Amino acid sequence: MPLNERDRIEILMMIGVGDRMRTQQEVCRLFHEMHPDREPVSQSTVSRIERKYRELGHVRDAPRQGRPKINENVQQDVILSALENPHCTVRQVSRDLNIGKSSVSNIFKKVKYHPYRVRLIHELAEDDFDRRTEFCEYMMDHNNQNNGFIANILFSDEATNQSCFGSLILWANFDPVFFWFSAYDDSKKP
């Protein structure tokens, strides 16, 4: 088990100063007597700690190499921004908090937040089946009377254009099942 900073300072105190210094073997034995439940330290460990203190003046660990970790406060800010505005994008959060987009994405992934696209669903009425059957019969009759009638029709799925729902994304750690029902309006029928 690695020694923490407190253990290293304790070993330095056991070594002593001036004419009251102990040998490295005595320090190893003394440390083991004070901490019998822990793994005993070796003489080379005591030597390294003593050398580090003489060279650097402290026994702290050197800073680790690599990319620094994201601060816990920043992670909380990212999560809070998604809770306050679940429709925000990764770019918006990144720009608002001045951190990278990949960092925001990684934080969302860590807390299992996923983007869910909200979809507009048309409510079906009781007589919709009859209307569909009637429409199919009408189209088949016209196609039989005028060959190529269907080839002259432009089909589109943009019957009800709700532009705000096309790009609406909701960040959540569960699948939010939202249904917006819009009833068919007969008054708009030609």
Instruction: Check residue 156 and give its pLDDT.
Output: 61
Evaluate whether 12 touches 59 at the Cβ level (below 8 Å): yes
φ, ψ for residue 181, nearest 5 deg: -95, 135
Q: What average pLDDT does range 27-42 have in this prediction?
A: 90
Place of tokens 């700690």: 49
Q: Which token pair is 35?
A: 């901490």
pLDDT in tens, 133-185: 888 888 888 888 888 777 777 666 555 545 444 555 666 666 555 544 444 45
Other beta carbons less than 10 A from residue 182's beta carbon:
11
Q: Which token pair is 181?
A: 């029902």
| pLDDT of 123 strictly over 80 | no
Position with higher pLDDT, 70 vs 151: 70
| pLDDT of 83 strictly over 90 | no
Position with higher pLDDT, 189 vs 114: 114
| pLDDT of 189 strictly over 50 | no
Amino acid occupying residue 129: F
Amino acid occupying residue 41: V
Separation CA 70–CA 108 (nearest Å) = 13
| pLDDT of 23 strictly over 70 | yes
